[in-house]
Structure 1
């Protein structure tokens, strides 16, 4: 088995080159969005929007000339991408749909809502067939249900979400944060709906997902990691079995990083990037703001190990216990994180307000840094000004 020995700097550059965050932009416009999503498997979707939603922020840092309408069109008009569960709520290529058939059945038995909602499923589906794509407010608001977490929800909303999770409905389009649902056959090509699950057993599905997550992050280790979230029943013995099998079949290769105790692994297809980094480290430095749920940050301990940068998304941290802020974006420059920034976009003024910037103690900020950060703020503001009709 081929084994690579690299420095931490080379490991950082490998990751950033793979993610299109170092050197010239390698992804451009809608074609680039599709290419990037296919490369990483999925990008996480989160509806919180203080200075841009997570998926938009991920793409803004990688896609040359990115606009929010590009992602919207790929999702709800061209339908080459789809939003569903992969690593939590995610966006992935439509062609991957058959791989997630197992998720529909898994959810059916672990629904967050009382089984009583199933009584209303046929009524909701018939109404959508009759009237077309609908949102929860298009139904009666008189009936409510209590979810697992004790939160009160309209029965219609609970049923729509249930049918979405079980793969009977899909998101047809959105108006702001409002989801309009339609029958699955109107949103997913029949040739994909008629395909069987490519993974016959649970272990096959787990193995496919582990490989997908290694590919998504770039480098991962065989130990507990948030990068493996939503892979059901992935206990340590199972994960080790999967890693051994992936190594045996030459799907992943070992990467030893100087000063790192744990062995890391990358997918075989990325070996060329390692050779590229070893041959030359002279790559154009870029300054980018990184999204809180960016694929690069899925394993925060790995980021601490390789970049010596600690990052916590403090959105769920009580205000009095926050070290930084509610929605803070790490600032990347070259192959280092030089700080973090908290910015808020207000639709009323159509402007971006910078609440604070925290620079790393070891970084000496220059005029170059300040100029590039200002440039990124303008880019972020332009993206937020764009409205989706």
Structure 2
């Protein structure tokens, strides 16, 4: 077992996530490489100052343009949006590994009697006429669906998407157009058999993927395991023991933290590179609320001493901070949080509030870097001015 200090743990995680030192990623190829490393980016459609996946990339990719991600998903089609850690974006080459997820939706779902009656007809219509949105199909009456009473056309399209028969052809705002997966992606990828039909083999792959997504994780309940329905305590224990015995993961003890962590064996060189590292990073970054780096918030609290709760679903009167608040990273610490809103009609970025941790005192150096990061964030959101309240 390797023992490291909390500072070394911080630097390891930040380097793993390309959040330490100067930004070196700057192209579509770099975006794809980063997503392959972390497995997936969690998708969320809410857009206050950028969608979650876009916010993740803007903090790593120099001069990131939102259109690059859209093109990679819906034009280049090297990425696909589907379920991983909840709804996510991942490389299309990983599609076969999620056969279990698709099979699950083939067997379940609300209002299946009504929906199943129209699915074949919808597939035939799309095959003959091309991509369709729910408003372009004539199934207007409503059925009981996951999000409440929903038009039959929407429920049927979504079920076919969940099952893997349809994929998202394009998006415009909240409107999605669906097409046959066989028309969107190479048949040799989407028709490939499940590489891990055995449950434990599959869970080993998923756990390795999640450890790689965060950088280090512990063998305990965690939000980082979301959507791994079959990973109960007994299965998790078996998986960790097997992965450690096969030398695919390494145990790491962080000083002053009782529970050990695990990293990918392939990250040992990266870990060794931060041992005794005196290098400082002057970057200020605003992190996405569902950033892979933040997936295990108890881990972040243990290592960084920083508590973060996404208060978007917290009633306003109960919020400690705000509706859509982003953590602020400076050097190797999470030093505060910021609430920003993009007023698109006015092309203006409004900084509603900034809260600093009680242990942090902003310096002139920090203020300079903060100003640069706000200017970059303004450009990222296609704004032309900043208003600071």
TM-score, normalising length from structure 1?
Answer: 0.96
- Residue segments in structure 1 that go unaligned for 5+ positions in a row: none
Task: Give the distance between the partners of 1:83 and 1:278, measured in 2 at CA.
Answer: 37
Contact 2:12 2:270 in 1 (8 A): yes
Task: Give the distance between the partners of 1:346 and 1:180, measured in 2 at CA.
Answer: 27
- Residue segments in structure 2 that go unaligned for 5+ positions in a row: 384-389
Task: Give the distance between the partners of 1:281 and 1:272, measured in 2 at CA.
Answer: 17
2:42 alignment counterpart: 44
Tell me how far 1:285 sits from its aligned partner: 2.6
How many residue pairs align between the two structures?
383
2:144 alignment counterpart: 146
Tell me how far 1:108 sits from its aligned partner: 2.0
Task: Give the distance between the partners of 1:318 and 1:58, measured in 2 at CA.
Answer: 25
The correspondence of residues 73-92 of structure 1 with structure 2, limited to 5 A, is 73-92=71-90
Task: Give the distance between the partners of 2:43 and 2:106, measured in 1 at CA.
Answer: 22
Tell me how far 1:374 sits from its aligned partner: 2.1
Q: Does 1:362 align with 2:359?
A: yes
Contact 1:206 1:232 in 2 (8 A): no
Tell me how far 1:148 sits from its aligned partner: 4.2
The correspondence of residues 214-363 of structure 1 with structure 2, limited to 5 A, is 214-363=211-360
Task: Give the distance between the partners of 2:356 and 2:332, measured in 1 at CA.
Answer: 15
Task: Give the distance between the partners of 2:161 and 2:39, measured in 1 at CA.
Answer: 21
Task: Give the distance between the partners of 1:314 and 1:373, measured in 2 at CA.
Answer: 23
Residues 182-210 of structure 1: CA deviation (Å, up to 9, x unaligned): 00101121111231110021222111101
Q: Does 1:127 align with 2:147?
A: no
The correspondence of residues 56-95 of structure 1 with structure 2, limited to 5 A, is 56-95=54-93
Task: Give the distance between the partners of 2:352 and 2:130, measured in 1 at CA.
Answer: 43
Contact 1:27 1:35 in 2 (8 A): no
Q: Does 1:159 align with 2:163?
A: no
2:166 alignment counterpart: 169
Task: Give the distance between the partners of 2:113 and 2:86, measured in 1 at CA.
Answer: 22
Residues 56-86 of structure 1: CA deviation (Å, up to 9, x unaligned): 0000000112101111111111111111000
TM-score, normalising length from structure 2?
Answer: 0.96
Residues 123-163 of structure 1: CA deviation (Å, up to 9, x unaligned): 211111122111111123631112245x1211101111100
1:213 alignment counterpart: 210
For the aligned residue pairs, the C-alpha RMSD in angstroms reads: 1.3
| SS of residue in 2 equivalent to 1:230 | coil
